[in-house]
Amino acid sequence: METVAKEKFNTGLKWIASSTMLLVISTGGWLGYDSMRNRALEPLAVQSFTVKKDTVENLINESGIVELANQQTLKSPVDGGGIVERVLVQVGERVESGQILVMLRDPEQQTALAQQQLEIQKQELQLERNREKTIEASRKLTVARQEVEGLSVKQIEIQKQELQLKRNGEKVIEYTKKLNAAQEELQELETLLEKGFIPDNEFQQQKDRVLVAQSQLRDAELAVELATLEFQSLQNQRQSKQRELSKQVLIAQAQFQDAQSEVNTNTRELKRLQLEKQKFEQKIQDNFIRASFTGKVLEINIKAGDVVRLGEPLLTLGDTSQELVTLELFPLDANQVQVNQPVRISPISPQAKSYTGRVQTISKVATNLNKNNSNATVTATVELDKPSKVLIPGSRVDAEIVLAARKNAVVLNRDLIQGSGANAFVWVQDAQGKAQKQPVSLGLEGLIKVEVTSGLDIGEQVIVPSPDSSLKPGMPLKVVSDK
């Protein structure tokens, strides 16, 4: 019995202890909840922002390389190597179009030009000699032709001799008739003499007359023979002379034509050599490196005495009246960029002055300049509105391409806006000093600032959300400062 009573007593003590503990816990929980509730009702210290107008921009930030317009590196035109004879400019010097900047010397070209000049002189001497031969041959041809024309004198003599021959022939006929008549009369007298009708002396006289007629006929026939021989001789002489002179004329003509042909050949060869000389001179002139435009010397890669090879860079020029910036854009960014969009250019340094420009060109093709990189880029060129005179060609600069901008618009920083799209809102403090959600409509969004098209007015206060506290509608607020 005593044992049972003890057990009941211990059980009662345990129940009383448990009840007491539950009561203590319950009382502590209620007191803690009451303390937390009273503390939650205390105003939350927050910062506020006064709504105002500003400019919001949608930008693409990129870096680029500065260069001058027409910036180009002039290279050595000397094939096989040349020597820098003189450098006539300095870095930073302004040069005019056509001005000689560098003088190169190619020993091989100089030797070739001298050899060509000797060949020209030899050809000129040969041409002069052949011209003299032409004049000499022309003179011989003229003399030969004149001698041919002189054959007309011989022709007159032949004609005279022919007339004389004709006259002598007529005399032969005349004397023949006379002889015949005398012989007939002699025969008649002989008959009469035989009959004794005439004296002997009359017959003898007639016989003498026959002899005279025979003599005259023989003289006439001899004269005909002599005239014939002379005529034939003159004809033969004339034909021989004519053949000789004709041959001389042909020889003189051939010599003249050969000399003229040599002159023509020498003239053509001289012109060819002179053209070759001009090419050599042009190559030497090409060794005088000239400015192709008015600009500024940006870099000089050589000095006097250096040996340069074909294509080796000599110096770099640029047009200081126009500054450009070359950008490499990712294709997604390039799709948003258009020609003539405004751009701000500034050196890569804190608080650097910026310069305005506009997009001048955008490549239609993406290229991969770094073969080890799979990301292709699109080249765009920006032209500064005015030369900065400060940006160094070849240096890297920051570029802000303004895709779109709103001026004099209601603008908030992006961190003041909660939610997105149609669910965007800001925290405001109502007349009772409690936090409330204020729906807003958003317009142009920049990297930091966002345009608010409706839901807020200028001068209204917007609560700056604290990253370490969670705002809820109806929470009491205490504005401690303006942001």
Asked whether the predicted pLDDT for residue 10 surpasses 50, the reply is no
The structure's pTM equals 0.54
Please name the amino acid found at residue 149: E
> What pLDDT was estimated at residue 327?
93
Highest mean pLDDT among 196-200, 379-383, 477-481: 379-383
Domain match, 7 and 52 both: no
Contact 402, 343 (CB under 8 A): yes
Q: Is residue 156 part of a domain?
A: yes
- Using CA atoms, how far apart are residues 270 and 131, in angstroms rounded to an integer? 14
Q: Provide the pLDDT for residue 121.
A: 92
Q: Find tokens 């340094």 and name the residue.
A: 349
Please tell me the distance from the alpha carbon of residue 425 to that of residue 420, in angstroms, as a whole number.
8
pLDDT of residue 161: 76
Q: Is the pLDDT of residue 31 over 90?
A: no
Q: 43 pLDDT exceeds 80?
A: yes
Other beta carbons within 10 Å of 233: 12
In a shared domain, residues 148 and 273: yes
> What range does the domain containing 234 cover?
109-284
Q: Is the pLDDT of residue 106 over 90?
A: no
CA 10 vs CA 5, 18, 112, 174, 342: distances in Å: 9, 12, 132, 215, 91
**pLDDT for res 278:** 86
| For range 191-207, the mean pLDDT | 85
Residue 34 has pLDDT above 60, yes or no: no
- With a cut of 70, say whether residue 217 has pLDDT above it: yes
Judged against a pLDDT cut of 60, whether residue 159 lies above it is answered with yes
Q: Domain check: are 120 and 195 in the same one? A: yes
Tokens (6 digits) for 382: 């920006």
Comparing CA positions, the residue from 216, 393, 226 lying closest to residue 319 is: 393
Q: Report residue 132 as tokens.
A: 């003299």
Three-state SS at 25: helix
Q: Considering the domain boundaries, does residue 135 fall inside one?
A: yes
Phi and psi, residue 50, nearest 5° = -85, 125
Token pair in block for residue 214: 């025979």
Mean pLDDT of the chain: 83
> Domain end: 221, 254, 284, which one?
284
Alpha-carbon 417 to chain mean position:
58
Same domain, 48 and 122: no
Which secondary-structure segment (H or E) carries 482? strand 477-482
- Looking at the DSSP bridge assignments, the partners of residue 410 are 53
Kindly state whether residue 321 falls inside one of the protein's structural domains: no
The lowest-confidence range among 24-28, 59-63, 83-87, 478-482 is: 24-28
Asked whether 234 and 158 are in contact (CB, 8 A), the reply is yes
Residues 52 and 124 in one domain: no
Kindly report the CATH number assigned to the domain that includes residue 123.
1.10.287.620
Does residue 262 belong to any structural domain of this protein? yes
Residues 32 and 125 in one domain: no
Last residue of a domain, one of 235, 261, 284: 284
pLDDT given for residue 23 in this prediction = 38
* Beta carbons within 8 Å of 34's beta carbon, 6+ residues apart: none
Integer Cα distance of 258 and 224 in angstroms: 50
Relative to beta strand 52-75, strand 313-329 is: antiparallel
- DSSP codes of every residue in 395-457: -EEEEEEEEEEEEEEEEEEGGG-BS-GGG-EEEEE-TTSBEEEEE-EEEEE-SSEEEEEES--
Higher pLDDT, 75 or 149: 75
Q: What pLDDT is stored for residue 236 in this prediction?
A: 83
161 plus 267 within the same structural domain: yes
State how far Cα 110 lies from the chain centre.
27
pLDDT recorded at residue 372: 57
Domain-terminating residue out of 232, 250, 284: 284
Cross-strand partners of 48: 463, 482
What band does 469 get if pLDDT is binned at 50, 70 and 90?
Answer: low
In a domain, 393, yes or no: no
44-82 residue pLDDT tens: 888 899 999 999 998 999 999 998 888 888 998 877 668
- Dihedral of alpha carbons 8, 10, 16, 18, sign: negative
Tokens found for residue 312:
């080796």
Q: Token pair for residue 324?
A: 């450009």
Listed residue (286, 304, 284, 285) closest to 90, CA to CA: 304
DSSP-assigned letters across all residues of 166-197: HHHHHHHHHHHHHHHHHHHHHHHHHHHHHHT-
Give the CA distances from residue 459 to residues 48, 52, 352, 384, 411, in Å, rounded to whole numbers and listed in that order: 11, 6, 32, 38, 12
Number of domains observed in the structure of the chain: 3
* 86 SS3 class: strand
Going by pLDDT thresholds of 50, 70 and 90, the confidence category of residue 453 is: very high
What pLDDT shows up at residue 13?
35
More confident residue, 197 or 180: 180
> Do both 20 and 49 map to the same domain?
no
Mean pLDDT of 328-346: 92
Does residue 16 lie within any of the structural domains? yes
29 plus 142 within the same structural domain? no
Which pLDDT score is estimated for 9?
34
Q: Is the pLDDT of residue 135 over 50?
A: yes
What tens digit of pLDDT does each residue of 393-445 get? 888 999 999 999 999 999 999 989 998 889 999 999 998 999 999 999 999 99
Give CA–CA dist 277/4, Å, rounded: 142
- The least confident of 2-16, 105-119, 300-314, 341-355 is 2-16
Residue 338 lies in a domain: no
Residue whose token pair is 């020993």: 107
Residues 130 and 17 in one domain: no
- pLDDT score for 340: 94
Return the pLDDT at 339.
94
| Helical spans, DSSP H, in 287-395 | 331-334
Does 48 lie in the same domain as 37?
no
Q: Are residues 235 and 140 in the same domain?
A: yes
User: Above pLDDT 70, what percent of the chain?
Assistant: 88
Q: Is residue 66 part of a domain?
A: no
pLDDT of the residue at 255: 86
**CATH number for the domain including 427?**
2.40.420.20
- What is the average pLDDT across 260-285? 87
Q: Shortest CA distance to 285 belongs to which of 109, 120, 97, 94?
A: 109
